[in-house]
Amino acid sequence: MIDPIGRLLIREGLISEAQLIHVVTEQKRNGGTFGDNLRALGYLTEEQVIKILHPIPALPLKVAETGLSEAFLSDLLLKIAYQEAGTFTIKNVTSKLCLAFSVVDELIELLKADQLLLIRSSASYGREAQVFELTQRGRERAQIALKFFLCIHISQNIGIGRHRISVGYRT
């Protein structure tokens, strides 16, 4: 039975079925990783193995491309803004979230539409020069997101039973 990576290598024309069987046989006999055996037998170079077995995903340029929900990313942005005393720039949030400028800009527009933040000031006409500020609604949602995070964090670290005892919870 050929595994999915083997099928991919054959489909891409990088190795033949006979070469795949040879690699699997050598791996069973000598051990090592599949990639190590592909290189050792001279079927693929180091670069080819990395490209196939460890592909680098494309940089997401829209919220939908991140694979994360809009609500999750919005809450992250709000929490960062809240911890920055309620004001921030796109550049600041972009570096903290490790997301593309366009993704953060899209999130900001969504949060502005929901009246969770507003433009506080602008030194020039560019978006990167604008300073944004949380509205009262934005602060409240950021506080809720932070409390939710803390509850999850506490229950994971000390266990829910010990947490109930520490806060005086009685069952």
β-sheet bridge partners, residue 121: 131
Range scoring the smallest mean pLDDT among 5-9, 25-29, 75-79, 108-112 = 5-9
Output the furthest CA–CA distance in the chain (Å, rounded): 67
C-alpha 84 chain-centroid distance: 22
Per-residue pLDDT for 58 more than 90? no
Q: What is the mean pLDDT of the chain?
A: 85
Whether the predicted pLDDT of 169 surpasses 80: no
- What pLDDT, on the 0 to 100 scale, is given for residue 1? 53
- The fraction of the chain above a pLDDT of 90, given in percent, is 54
What residue segments make up the domains of the chain, in order of their start?
Answer: 4-53, 63-163
| pLDDT of 171 over the 50 cut | no
Answer for the pair 141, 79: CB distance below 8 angstroms, yes or no: no
- pLDDT for 147 equals 86
pLDDT band of residue 150 (cuts 50, 70, 90) is low
pLDDT of residue 8: 86
CATH number of 63-163: 1.10.10.10
The 3 state secondary structure assigned to 76-126 is: HHHHHHHHCCCEEEHHHHHHHHCCCHHHHHHHHHHHHHCCCEEEEEECCCC
Tokens of 162: 């010990």
pLDDT in tens, 110-138: 999 999 999 888 777 777 788 999 999 99
Residue 72 has pLDDT above 60, yes or no: yes
Per-residue confidence (pLDDT) for residue 167, from 0 to 100: 45
Residue 142 has pLDDT above 70, yes or no: yes
Structure confidence at residue 12 (pLDDT)? 87
In the chain, count of helices (H) and strands (E)? 9, 3
Give the integer Cα–Cα distance in Å for 124 and 32.
58
